[in-house]
């Protein structure tokens, strides 16, 4: 003890750097962890005290055990859902970026397209999803379309706002430096819109999980949504909850991944504003 | 004696010629804006000129149309009456040929200091590599060496303004318009950057037109000072600054300086009162 605390011996000798980072990160997430522990603890105790039936509300310990026992089954369905999310999200990103660019470049296109973009969000997905099965067939396509339909809206709206939020003084400056319309778009509007785009991506990725599940409910043979709809009538409620836990973890992980990509894509933004995740 | 006479005449005509090169020549310029259907005359009958290599300042009360005048010279806007000639020609496509620096530094937060500095060159079609080479050489002169790869958010106000200056200088246009470029800086930073700017201007041999509301600044830097009236703006007074160059900070207490300052201040006060 006295050796470690001797003056001149820096703390880093006692705590290696990686451990220090781990402690810092751990402390940052401590409140979230505490809430989870409290809720799960209360749930577990409640189920045990009142002896609630497993098919009605399974205890967290039972759900955890199910995840362990059914790991192989759950993993296969998780992969199917991830595929739908990734392809649907990518489609939404490409279409959303293209639409936002077109709208940002032309007021006419904006006036022509924006009403339809908003109207697309009023279509009840639950109604349109079964139609998609008839239109594009069974398989991956209808789920991908449902995910993309839900995701592209926040991407377009945020990016269009970003493209429009340029400082008009910078536009003047660029014009006096000889810039044409295209240069102003590429070198000013697009970079300005990127933080807005990433805000849209965060919302979109959170929605994408529920989009995939809805797509699977309507008609599919794999995926976590399919597993839930199959397990419920069999009173395998613990499996439904296991799927919910995995979906939540998936949503949080995907959200965090968008944050990590943003950190690398917009290092200047993080130096100015600090971390958002 | 005769030879000497001839020589003097030659000298005189030569200096006359240099003096005649009005790089900016504004005659009877007026601007009327349409404000909700009502015509709003921002300035009228403005006569203004700048010779090649000259440093000219414009002072006047706020809202007198100083910035409108600069916008028109830069080509961002057009006059509703009068004529504007650059290098003796009507310049309808002047946008991009006149450097314009505003009070805000307008640096792009996602570009490093170096890439902000080369922004003008890049827009003119110079390759990034060549532009960076040209900028790197000037970093030290602008007090920015070691900060090349920093983002603007890490810089002080004075440094950011110098990056904006470097961007303007690198774009290499023959004349620069400066719209209250030091307005955001504190007094200490200002007097330092004044001396630095004069050193730079003497090396560059460019024409500078500066709008300011600081009389000391206008006199210290300029060859000539215009005083503009309240709206509708027009030129009320033009004064030659006869202080020798190079100029030093100590000159602000000299007799000539104080005399001119008194004259200009009373002219401005008359304008503000009316």
Residues B101, B168: Cα–Cα separation, whole Å: 7
Å from A165 to nearest chain B CA?
14
Q: Does A272 sit within 8 Å of B151, measured CB to CB?
A: yes
Structure tokens at A240: 């439904």
Q: Does B110 sit within 8 Å of A269, measured CB to CB?
A: yes
The CA-atom distances, in angstroms, between A83 and each of A134, A147, A220, B97, B248 are: 21, 11, 14, 54, 71
A93-111 per-position pLDDT tens digit:
999 999 999 999 999 999 9
State the pLDDT at residue B13: 43
* For residue A275, pLDDT beyond 60: no
Of A167, A183, A266, the CB nearest to B123: A183
**B8 lies in some domain:** no
**B202 lies in some domain:** yes
- Tell the CATH topology of A54-273: MetI-like fold (1.10.3720)
* For residue A181, pLDDT beyond 50: yes
**B124 lies in some domain:** yes
B38-59 per-position pLDDT tens digit:
998 999 999 999 999 999 999 9
What CATH number did the domain enclosing B195 receive?
3.40.50.300
Q: Does A269 sit within 8 Å of B100, measured CB to CB?
A: no
* For residue A126, pLDDT beyond 60: yes
Q: Indicate whether B76 and B178 sit together in one domain.
A: yes
Scanning every residue of chain A, which has its alpha carbon at the shortest distance from the alpha carbon of B116? A187
Give A 171-200 residues with CB within 8 A of chain B: 172-179, 183, 187-188, 191, 194
* Residue carrying structure tokens 């990034």: B128
- Taking contacts as CB-CB distances below 8 angstroms, the residues of chain A near B108 are 170, 188, 191
Q: Does B76 sit within 8 Å of A175, measured CB to CB?
A: yes
Beta strand extents in chain B (DSSP E only): 22-35, 38-51, 55-59, 81-86, 89-90, 98-101, 175-179, 207-212, 224-228, 235-240
DSSP string, A187-212: IIIHHHHHHHHHHHHHHHHHHHHHHH
- Taking contacts as CB-CB distances below 8 angstroms, the residues of chain A near B153 are 268, 271-272
Q: How confident is the model at residue A18 (pLDDT cuts 50, 70, 90)?
A: confident
Q: Domain boundary at B118, B148, B172, which?
A: B172
pTM of the predicted model as reported, rounded to 2 decimal places: 0.82
State the pLDDT at residue B9: 44
Q: How confident is the model at residue B10 (pLDDT cuts 50, 70, 90)?
A: very low
State the pLDDT at residue B6: 41
Q: Indicate whether B164 and B263 sit together in one domain.
A: no
- Taking contacts as CB-CB distances below 8 angstroms, the residues of chain A near B154 are 271
Task: Return the half-sphere exposure (C-beta side, CA atoms, 13 A cut-off) of residue B8.
Answer: 5
Domain ranges, residue B112: 106-172
B11-27 per-position pLDDT tens digit:
444 444 455 688 999 99
The CA-atom distances, in angstroms, between A230 and each of A133, A222, A223, A225 are: 19, 10, 11, 9
State the pLDDT at residue A10: 52
Q: How confident is the model at residue A166 (pLDDT cuts 50, 70, 90)?
A: very high
A103-127 average pLDDT score: 89
Average pLDDT of every residue of chain B:
86
* For residue A11, pLDDT beyond 70: no
Residues A246, A72: Cα–Cα separation, whole Å: 13
Q: Indicate whether B165 and B41 sit together in one domain.
A: no
Domain count, chain B: 2
A169-175 average pLDDT score: 95
A236-267 per-position pLDDT tens digit:
999 999 999 999 999 999 999 999 999 999 98
List chain A domain ranges. 1-51, 54-273
Q: Indicate whether B199 and B85 sit together in one domain.
A: yes
B92-99 average pLDDT score: 89
* For residue B219, pLDDT beyond 70: yes
Return the number of CB contacts < 8 Å for A and B.
61
* For residue A130, pLDDT beyond 90: no
């Amino acid at each position: 003890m006295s050796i470690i605390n001797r003056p001149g011996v820096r703390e880093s000798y006692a705590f290696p750097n990686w451990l220090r980072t781990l402690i810092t990160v751990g402390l940052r997430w401590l409140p979230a962890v505490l809430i989870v522990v409290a809720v799960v603890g209360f749930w577990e105790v409640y189920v045990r005290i009142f002896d609630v039936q497993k098919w009605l509300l399974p205890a967290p310990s039972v759900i955890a055990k199910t995840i362990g026992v059914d790991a192989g089954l759950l993993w296969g369905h998780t992969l199917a859902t991830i595929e739908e999310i990734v392809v649907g999200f990518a489609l939404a990103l490409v279409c959303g970026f293209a639409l936002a660019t077109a709208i940002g470049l032309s007021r006419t296109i904006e006036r022509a397209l924006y009403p339809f973009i908003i109207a697309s969000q009023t279509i009840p997905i639950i109604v349109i999803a079964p139609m998609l099965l008839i239109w594009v067939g069974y398989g991956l396509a209808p789920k991908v379309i449902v995910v993309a339909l839900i995701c592209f809206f926040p991407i377009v709206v945020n990016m269009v706002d970003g493209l429009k939020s340029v400082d008009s003084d910078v536009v003047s400056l660029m014009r006096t430096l000889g810039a044409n319309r295209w240069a102003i778009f590429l070198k000013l509007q697009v970079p300005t819109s990127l933080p807005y785009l990433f805000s849209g991506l965060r919302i979109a990725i959170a929605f994408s999980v529920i989009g995939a599940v809805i797509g699977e409910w309507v008609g599919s043979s794999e995926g976590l949504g399919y597993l839930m709809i199959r397990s419920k009538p069999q009173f395998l409620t613990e499996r439904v909850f296991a799927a919910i836990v995995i979906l939540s973890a998936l949503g949080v992980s995907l959200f965090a991944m968008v944050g990590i990509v943003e950190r690398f894509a917009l290092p200047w933004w993080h130096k100015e504003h600090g971390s958002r995740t | 004696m005769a030879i000497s006479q001839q020589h003097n005449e030659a000298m005189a005509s030569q200096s006359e010629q240099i003096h005649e090169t009005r790089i900016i020549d504004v005659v009877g310029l007026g601007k009327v804006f349409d404000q909700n259907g009502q015509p709003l005359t921002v300035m009228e009958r403005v006569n203004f000129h700048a010779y090649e290599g000259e440093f000219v300042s414009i002072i006047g009360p706020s809202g007198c149309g100083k910035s409108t005048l600069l916008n028109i010279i830069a080509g961002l806007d057009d006059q509703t009456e009068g004529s504007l000639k650059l290098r003796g020609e009507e310049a309808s496509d002047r946008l991009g040929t006149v450097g314009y620096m505003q009070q805000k530094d307008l640096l792009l937060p996602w570009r490093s200091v170096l890439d902000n500095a080369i922004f003008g060159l890049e827009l003119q079609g110079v390759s990034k590599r060549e532009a960076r080479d040209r900028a790197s050489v000037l970093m030290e002169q602008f007090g920015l060496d070691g900060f090349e790869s920093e983002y603007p958010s890490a810089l002080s106000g004075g440094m950011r303004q110098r990056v904006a200056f470097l961007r303007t200088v690198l774009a290499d246009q023959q004349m620069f318009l400066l719209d209250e470029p030091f307005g955001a800086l504190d007094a200490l930073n200002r007097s330092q950057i004044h001396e630095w700017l004069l050193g730079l201007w003497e090396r560059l041999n460019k024409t500078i037109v500066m709008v300011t509301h600081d009389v000391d600044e206008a006199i210290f830097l300029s060859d000539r000072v215009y005083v503009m009236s309240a709206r509708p703006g027009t030129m009320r007074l033009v004064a030659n600054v006869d202080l020798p160059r190079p100029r030093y900070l100590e000159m602000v207490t000299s007799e000539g300086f104080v005399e001119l300052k008194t004259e200009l201040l009373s002219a401005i006060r008359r304008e503000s009162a009316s």
